């Protein structure tokens, strides 16, 4: 059991009355705190900052809970902050009753991130918004204003009956006795650098699962459990917890992309010797069907499909508890030899030319 299963989720969802507002009116209501904060806000701090018909901005703190066992952030962390402003950028020009459903998400990575990033901000703009489809792009910046990733998305546009415009219900934010999860003190530690330099990734996973090495902070935060690691293959599970839900009431696409990236990166690590790392170049995610927050496990698997001297390619998918594929994903990375996973090395390693 994880704390995600033991502790009731925090936050809420907008009522149907909000559909009477235009897209930009809904976005501005969220940015002003006039709409209930969704569970993902309480879990990892994702917060809307500003909104217009031409742009959308969200940000989140670079919480220590987002660290891998080496003290750096997974490249897919950018997806946590990118998916919301991208969808909101398409929502902005829409009218009452219209909503967006994310079809795919693509990220190209420029720089690594860690707690030194302080805050990650996604700034999105619509490229084209039609009757049925919308395209948007975003840049993700760190606290110093450096661009760490570029993202694009395609969304379907759906229409629902417009409710009669009534007075919006008052928002009463509940007060909690404990901090939100991303603000709490870490209950785990990082894996020693010597282990990364001397042991293979498969060995690291075995020692983590046996309790001889600590569980990475991000695994604790999201309840992710590694179930299989062998050469060229990696598998993890996570609960489809209500903590992962967006304002739409389904599992946030940014989390699903993050989960997919975690296993894709894991698979690439399994084919490298100690003192070598895969520096992420990109991530491509297709969302096939929504995932409901019913608490049942979802499973992510990934396989290395190309292992070159300097380039790795991996493909993966996420399946729900009924065995249906909900996400298809792929990623690539360049191989850096002579470096082990450590915060100092990663933060000082220049991003490869893509």
CA distance 126 to 91: 9
Strand 311-319 relative to strand 276-287, pairing: unpaired
What are the structure tokens assigned to 241, written together? 């917890």
Report pLDDT for 175: 87
pLDDT tens digit string along 86-96? 999 999 999 99
User: What is the Cβ-side half-sphere exposure of residue 175, based on CA atoms within 13 angstroms?
Assistant: 1
For the chain, list residues with pLDDT below 50. Answer: 1, 343-354
Q: Model's pTM, two decimal places?
A: 0.94
Q: How far is CA 208 from the centre of its chain?
A: 23
Report pLDDT for 354: 29
Q: Which of 333, 328, 341 is nearest to 260 (CA)?
A: 328
Task: Provide CB contacts within 8 A for 185, sequence distance 6+.
Answer: none
Question: Which H or E run includes 160?
Answer: none
CA distance 138 to 57: 9
**C-beta atoms surrounding 1 within 10 Å:** 7
Report pLDDT for 6: 78
Report pLDDT for 352: 35
């Amino acid at each position: 059991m994880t704390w995600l299963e033991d502790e009731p989720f925090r936050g809420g969802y907008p009522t149907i009355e909000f559909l009477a507002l235009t897209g930009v009116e809904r976005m501005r209501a969220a940015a002003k705190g006039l709409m209930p904060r969704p569970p993902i806000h309480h879990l990892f701090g994702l917060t809307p900052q500003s909104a217009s018909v031409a742009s959308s901005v969200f940000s989140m703190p670079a919480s220590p809970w987002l660290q891998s066992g080496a003290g750096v952030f997974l490249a897919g962390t950018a997806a946590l902050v990118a998916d919301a402003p991208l969808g909101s950028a398409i929502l902005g020009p829409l009218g009452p009753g219209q909503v967006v459903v994310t079809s795919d998400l693509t990220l190209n990575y420029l720089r690594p991130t860690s707690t030194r990033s302080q805050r990650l901000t996604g700034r999105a703009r619509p490229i084209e918004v039609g009757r049925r489809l919308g395209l948007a792009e975003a840049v993700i910046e760190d606290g110093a204003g450096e661009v760490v990733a570029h993202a694009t998305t395609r969304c379907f546009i759906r229409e629902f009956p417009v409710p009669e415009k009534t007075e919006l219900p008052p928002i009463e934010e509940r007060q909690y006795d404990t901090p939100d999860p991303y603000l709490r003190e870490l209950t785990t530690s990082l894996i020693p650098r010597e282990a990364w330099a001397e042991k293979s990734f498969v060995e690291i996973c075995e020692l983590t699962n046996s309790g001889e090495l600590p569980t990475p902070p991000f695994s604790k935060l999201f309840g992710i459990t590694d179930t299989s690691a062998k050469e060229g293959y990696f598998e993890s599970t996570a609960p489809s917890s209500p903590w992962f839900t967006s304002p739409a009431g389904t599992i946030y696409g940014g989390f699903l992309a993050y989960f997919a990236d975690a296993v894709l990166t894991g698979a690439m690590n399994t084919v490298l010797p100690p003192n070598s790392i895969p520096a992420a170049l990109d991530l491509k995610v297709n969302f096939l069907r929504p995932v409901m927050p019913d608490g049942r496990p979802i499973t992510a698997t990934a396989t290395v499909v190309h292992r070159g001297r300097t380039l790795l390619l991996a493909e993966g998918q996420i399946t729900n508890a009924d065995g249906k594929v909900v996400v298809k994903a792929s990623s690539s990375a360049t191989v850096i030899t002579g470096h082990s996973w450590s915060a100092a090395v990663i933060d000082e390693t220049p991003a490869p030319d893509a």
